[in-house]
Amino acid sequence: MRCIPSREDIDVPSVFQDYDHPQRKAVESVGPGQVLVVDARGKKRAASLGHILATRLRARGAAGIVTDGSVRDMAGFEKLDLPTFSAGASPTTNLAQHHVVDFQLPIACAEVAVYPGDIMVGDRDGVICIPRYLVDEVARDALEQEKLEEFILARVEAGRPLRGTYPPDAQTMQAYLDSRPNRPDTPTQVPSA
């Protein structure tokens, strides 16, 4: 969903009576398993959306919300079983700063190009956008990196020094490969820190 700056003569409170308002149409366009990504231009003074629209997204089976703006009704979001990633909270309604112009097309969110169909992955550290055609490759490489980092962390927790352990030298990489039950036929390259 893409927002441009609001305008006082267009974005008046009476637009909340319009069932076909672009913001509501965008919410109703999100299907099961999909994520609503909002281009709020990084503006946080007014919310991108609030708890009622987020609740509708959850009811539609959405997988989450990502916005580079803020959200409203944070107490409701804290109880809502819908992963939401925002730049913060604001009590101000979207019309004070945002005018939704379109949806289901390429946007920028937090200076990242997001296309319909891209895969959004988020955790406590943030959100990444993965082009759909790269998902299998990125997932495989990310899992391998996680396993390697768990191995390295265990060594550091056991008292090993950083030199040779992190980043891993050839000996540490070999120990890692030897520790894996289904190790690959070709050795993994030593990653850079």
Q: Which tokens is 89 given?
A: 């909270």
Do the beta carbons of residue 41 and residue 1 sit within 8 Å?
no
Q: How many residues are listed for the chain in this entry?
A: 193
With contact defined as beta carbons under 8 Å apart, do 27 and 57 qualify? yes
pLDDT at 183: 61
Q: What is the mean pLDDT of residues 119-134?
A: 96
Residues 6+ apart with CB under 8 A from 150: none
Q: What is the mean pLDDT of residues 177-191?
A: 66
Q: Count the Cβ atoms, other than its own, within 10 Å of residue 130.
A: 16
Tens of pLDDT along 67-105? 999 999 999 999 999 999 999 999 999 999 999 999 999
pLDDT at 149: 97
Cis bond leading into 167, ω under 30°?
yes
Rounded CA-CA distance 162/31 in Å is: 47
